[in-house]
């Protein structure tokens, strides 16, 4: 009698994926490990503590969600993990290499080569087409001369990731000619073009309606599985968080371990 809910395909895939990851022995070294991260912002003479000792391990191939109230420091934590900002104290290791205290060029290199990032408001460049937006990180990484020499290869790579996210029919569209879901797909393609091993997603469905949000989650899940892409996703949406392998909650400047269970723990 009962019809499978819209959520079913996503849920089933998440379950399979969690089981597959366990079989693969995901208990190995974490790909990303944060220890005792402390971060404050200064507002004039006042120091506002945001992170007060965050510990977090992310397993290779894991799809982790971070939840927590607005202002609890989720974006701050993601920025630190992605080397966009440095902690005041503590340590971050990526692939067993310390990344929080690298000189800025080396930090940029880690980020450009290994880490993809997507955001709630996509951050696409409005004057560029979808294809050009996806090519932009390559242009920046290569510099103009080298980029032009390898342009054919870059374009082929960009088209490949755009196909992967289902946007082959929107290559020449500007962001304003795309729907919200399409803009996020374009941003995901852009984040993938350097073939990162880690994707950091800050409220990637926060500006999308529920149906499109689920589609974006399904896309992230398929990338997590097909490319063994490790994903850390900040989200407000408990229902989406529950579809991931594990949920951690940020509160009072710390991570509450095992505060809630994602699919991996629910089995």
Binding site for ligand ADP (CB under 6 A): 41, 43, 48, 50, 68, 70-76
* 184 is a site residue for Mg ion (CB under 5 A): no
Q: Which two tokens stand for residue 174?
A: 């500007």
Residues sharing a CB contact under 8 Å with residue 145, sequence separation 6 or more, in sequence order: none
Tokens 């912002």 belong to residue = 41
Q: Classify residue 59 by its DSSP letter.
A: E
> Torsions phi, psi of 67, nearest 5?
-120, 170
Nearer to ligand ADP, 253 or 262 (CB): 253
Please report how close the Cβ of residue 67 comes to ligand ADP at its closest, in angstroms: 9
CB of 69 to ligand ADP, least distance (A): 7
| Residue 104 contact partner, candidates Mg ion, ligand ADP, none, CB within 5 to 8 A by sort of partner | none
* Closer Cβ to ligand ADP, 157 or 203, answer by number: 203
Query: Which residue is nearest to Mg ion, using beta carbons?
Result: 75
Q: Using an 8 Å Cβ cutoff, are 92 and 34 in contact?
A: yes
Taking the least distance from each CB to Mg ion, the nearer of 121 and 148 is 121
Least Å from the CB of residue 75 to Mg ion = 3
Min dist CB 218 to ligand ADP, Å, is 24
Tallying the residues shown for the chain, one arrives at 267
- Exposed, middle or buried, 182 (CB in 10 Å: 0-12/13-18/19+)? buried
Q: Which residues are bridge partners to 130 per DSSP?
A: none
Number of residues that bind Mg ion (CB under 5 A): 2
Residues 35-74 contacting Mg ion, CB under 5 A: 74
Beta carbon of residue 202, minimum distance to ligand ADP (angstroms, whole number) = 7
Shortest distance (Å) from residue 211 CB to ligand ADP: 24
Write the CA distances from 162 to 48, 155, 157, 158, 207, integer angstroms. 41, 10, 9, 6, 21
Q: Is 14 or 199 the residue whose CB approaches ligand ADP more closely?
A: 199
User: Which residue intervals of 82-179 are DSSP H helices?
Assistant: 104-114, 130-142, 144-149, 151-164
Which one of residues 17, 65, 72, 75 is an interface residue with Mg ion (CB under 5 A)?
A: 75
Residue 191 contact partner, candidates ligand ADP, Mg ion, none, CB within 5 to 8 A by sort of partner: none
* Site residues (vs Mg ion, CB under 5 A): 74-75
């Amino acid at each position: 009698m009962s019809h499978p809910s819209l959520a079913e395909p996503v849920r089933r895939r998440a379950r399979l994926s969690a089981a597959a990851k366990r079989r693969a022995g995901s208990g190995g070294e974490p790909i990303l490990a944060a220890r005792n991260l402390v971060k404050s912002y200064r507002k004039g003479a006042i120091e506002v503590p945001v992170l007060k000792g965050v510990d977090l391990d992310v397993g290779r191939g894991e799809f982790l969600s971070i939840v927590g109230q607005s202002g609890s420091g989720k974006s701050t934590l993601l920025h630190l993990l992605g080397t966009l900002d440095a902690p005041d104290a503590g340590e971050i290791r990526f692939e067993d290499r310390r990344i929080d205290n690298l000189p800025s060029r080396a930090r940029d290199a880690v980020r450009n080569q290994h880490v993809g990032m997507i955001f709630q408001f996509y951050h696409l460049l409005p004057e560029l087409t979808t294809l050009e937006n996806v090519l932009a990180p390559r242009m920046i990484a290569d510099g103009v001369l080298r980029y032009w020499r390898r342009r054919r290869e870059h374009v082929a790579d960009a088209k490949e990731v755009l196909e992967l996210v289902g946007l082959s029919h929107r290559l020449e569209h500007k962001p304003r000619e795309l729907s919200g879901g399409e803009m996020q797909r374009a941003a995901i393609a852009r984040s993938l073009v350097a073939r990162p091993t880690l994707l950091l997603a800050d409220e990637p469905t926060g500006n999308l309606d529920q149906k499109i949000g689920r589609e974006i989650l399904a896309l992230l899940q398929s990338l997590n599985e097909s490319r063994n892409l490790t994903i850390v996703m900040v989200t407000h949406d408990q229902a989406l968080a529950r579809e991931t392998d594990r949920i951690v909650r940020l509160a009072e400047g710390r991570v509450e371990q095992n505060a809630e269970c994602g699919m991996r723990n629910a089995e």
